[in-house]
């Protein structure tokens, strides 16, 4: 089985979604072939867009008028991923792993934890102490809201809190994954103020740039580390699955 990596550059959300669905169909068609695909990792940077899931009430978390959003150059798109509402835009690294979770013997919970760990490991490589939050999917960084001037959103208290550096939302069809993660590298955090990110009130959003300042990595640097980390995690899972199935045969 093979794992491909394709960088789509910068694309509108709808165009990238079309690539996702076509890639999913290709991975699915290869499942019973002589050369099955483990999957394809798509990387992309989006034009400014708010994506709203089909979850009841998600659209209510847009807190800026559509006219103002249009003036800001921010589109609004419905999406079929899980989760609630988020923002994508320049300076944010989006990764869509289109993976055969059946071939990898990965349930949805384990898959989400794999994605989170890949982002945590990537942030650690750049000196950012990222972590999980047991109450919310994604990757978070502890901040002091009293001293941070570049974090979007307001904490509900002045005590140290967790700010989201990476949002996640997926969909699975025939046990092949779509959508994925978005890590804020040098993102314009002011755009997150147009929504309630992920529908979580009082939870701030940060970027590697807001945390590291001028020393923040570039988008290509983050993409390289994140893809390498993901590839390693997926390959280890594949090898474990192959060995486990051989043992049971």
Percent of the chain with pLDDT over 70: 93
Catalytic residue list contains 166: no
What residues does each domain of the chain span?
Answer: 2-248
- Average pLDDT over every residue of 170-180: 97
Q: What pLDDT score was predicted for residue 205? A: 95
| pTM, 2 dp | 0.93
Active-site option among 123, 166, 198, 206: 198
Q: What pLDDT score was predicted for residue 201? A: 87
Q: Is the pLDDT of residue 59 over 50?
A: yes
Q: Is the pLDDT of residue 147 over 60?
A: no
Q: Is the pLDDT of residue 85 over 70?
A: yes
- The pLDDT confidence band at residue 150, using thresholds 50, 70 and 90, is very low
pLDDT digits (tens, 9 = 90+) for 202-222: 889 999 999 999 999 999 999
Q: What pLDDT score was predicted for residue 175? A: 97
pLDDT digits (tens, 9 = 90+) for 227-247: 999 999 999 999 999 898 888
- Average pLDDT over every residue of 166-194: 97
Q: Select 2-248's CATH number: 3.30.930.10, 3.40.50.450, 2.60.40.10, 3.30.70.2470.
A: 3.30.930.10
**Directed axis angle between helix 108-125 and helix 219-248, to 10°?**
140
The pair phi, psi for residue 147, each rounded to 5°, is -110, -10
Average pLDDT, the chain: 93
């Amino acid at each position: 089985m093979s794992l491909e990596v394709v960088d789509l550059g910068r694309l509108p959300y709808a165009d990238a979604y079309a690539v996702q669905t076509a890639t999913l169909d290709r991975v699915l068609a290869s499942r019973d072939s002589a050369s099955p695909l483990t999957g394809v990792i798509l990387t992309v940077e989006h034009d400014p867009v708010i994506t709203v899931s089909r979850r009841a009430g998600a659209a209510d978390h847009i807190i800026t008028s559509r006219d103002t959003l249009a003036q800001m150059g921010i589109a609004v798109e419905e999406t079929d991923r899980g989760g609630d509402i988020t923002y994508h835009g320049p300076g944010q690294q989006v990764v869509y792993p289109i993976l055969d979770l059946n071939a990898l013997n990965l349930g949805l919970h384990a898959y989400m934890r794999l994605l989170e760990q890949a982002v945590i490991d990537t942030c650690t490589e750049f000196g950012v102490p990222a972590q999980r939050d047991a109450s919310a999917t994604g990757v978070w960084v502890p901040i002091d809201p009293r001293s941070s001037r570049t974090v979007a959103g307001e904490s509900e208290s002045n005590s140290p809190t967790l700010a989201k550096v990476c949002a996640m939302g997926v969909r699975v069809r025939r046990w092949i994954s779509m959508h994925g993660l978005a890590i804020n590298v040098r993102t314009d955090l002011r755009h997150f103020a147009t929504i309630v990110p992920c529908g979580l009130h009082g939870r701030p959003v940060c970027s590697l740039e807001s945390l590291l300042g001028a020393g923040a990595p570039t988008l290509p640097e983050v993409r390289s580390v994140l893809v390498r980390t993901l590839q390693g995690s997926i390959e280890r899972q594949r090898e474990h699955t192959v060995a486990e199935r051989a043992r049971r045969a």
